[in-house]
């Protein structure tokens, strides 16, 4: 079964750090671009970051640039999001998502999503 | 950045009736070299992650019922549910993936 499972969320104080993980299974992880998308409570979907299939290219939303780092370990089929200098407005469910087509340029719809992990930034 | 704007914000439709959700992009999402619109539609039910319904503006993802259809071109797109079923109650999002991905604000679909 094709699956993505996020972990690492929790309660953190403003200014703190968290590292989210997304474990992939059921497909050739190293062939796909991957994304992080977040959703604040009761709000819409917001794209956060993406990484190409071999990890050599990344991009970020302006709201997290310089604070978040996306990375991947293709040997262990895992995607990461290192989040530093966290702010209250980073509070959200964080989803990892796979693009639809393997080996592409990354401009593609997201066909597989994890269940999400909740990050709460509060003192 | 491309801004996606959906209308309406919420919609109530009777069972068996047609539901139409609109999405407008601030720039064209048509890639001229392959004549494809880089536009997707997602369905999100409470407590669940989004589910891909439509990509390339009009191609249904595998397993999506044929009552869901996507249309449009350039900057204006539409998701149509031809005959609303109870299980279609959800929030629907459009997304462009022509450039850095962005989503519409969502449209909440309810039963009238």
Partner B, chain A 7-36, Cβ-Cβ below 8 Å = 35
pLDDT tens digits, A67-95: 999 999 999 999 999 999 999 999 999 99
What's the CA gap between A72 and B111, in Å, rounded? 42
pLDDT tens digits, A104-114: 778 999 999 99
Chain B partners within 8 Å of A111 (Cβ) = 52, 55, 61
Q: What is the pLDDT of residue B35?
A: 93
B53 by DSSP, 3-state: which? Answer: strand
Q: What is the pLDDT of residue A95?
A: 98
Which token pair is B6? 């959906």
**What is the rounded average pLDDT for all residues in chain A?**
97
Nearest one of A45, A94, A95 to B96, comparing CA atoms: A45
Q: Is the pLDDT reported for residue A34 higher than 80?
A: yes
pLDDT tens digits, B18-72: 999 999 999 999 999 999 999 999 999 999 999 999 999 999 999 999 999 999 9
Stated as kind and residue range, the H or E segment containing B83 is: none
DSSP chain A: --EEEEE--EEE-TT--EEEEEEEESS-GGGS-EEEEEE-TT--EEEEEEE-TTSS-EEE-TTTTTTEEEEEETTTTEEEEEE-S--GGG-EEEEEEEESSTTS-S-S-EEEE---EEEEE--
Mutation test of the interface with chain B: which of A109, A110, A114, A116, choosing the one with the most B Cβ atoms within 10 A? A109
């Amino acid at each position: 079964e094709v699956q993505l499972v996020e972990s690492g969320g929790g309660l953190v104080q403003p200014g703190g750090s968290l590292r989210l993980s997304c474990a992939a299974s059921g497909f050739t992880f190293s062939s796909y671009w991957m994304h992080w998308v977040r959703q604040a409570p009761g709000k819409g979907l917001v794209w956060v970051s993406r990484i190409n299939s071999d990890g050599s290219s990344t991009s970020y939303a302006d709201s997290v640039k310089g604070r978040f780092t996306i990375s991947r370990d293709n040997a262990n089929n895992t995607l990461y999001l290192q989040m530093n200098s966290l702010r209250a407005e980073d509070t959200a469910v964080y989803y990892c998502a796979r693009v639809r087509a393997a080996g592409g340029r990354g401009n593609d719809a997201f066909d597989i999503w994890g269940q999400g992990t909740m990050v709460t930034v509060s003192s | 950045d491309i801004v996606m704007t959906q209308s309406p914000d919420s919609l109530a439709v009777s069972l068996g009736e047609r539901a139409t959700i609109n999405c407008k992009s601030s720039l064209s999402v048509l890639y001229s070299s392959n004549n494809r619109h880089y536009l997707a539609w997602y369905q999100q039910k409470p407590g669940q992650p989004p589910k891909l319904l439509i990509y390339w503006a009009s191609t249904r993802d595998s397993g999506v019922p044929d009552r869901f259809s996507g249309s449009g071109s350039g900057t204006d797109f539409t998701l149509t549910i031809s005959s609303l079923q109870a299980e279609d109650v959800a929030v629907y999002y459009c997304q462009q993936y022509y450039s850095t991905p962005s989503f519409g604000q969502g449209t909440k679909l309810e039963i009238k």
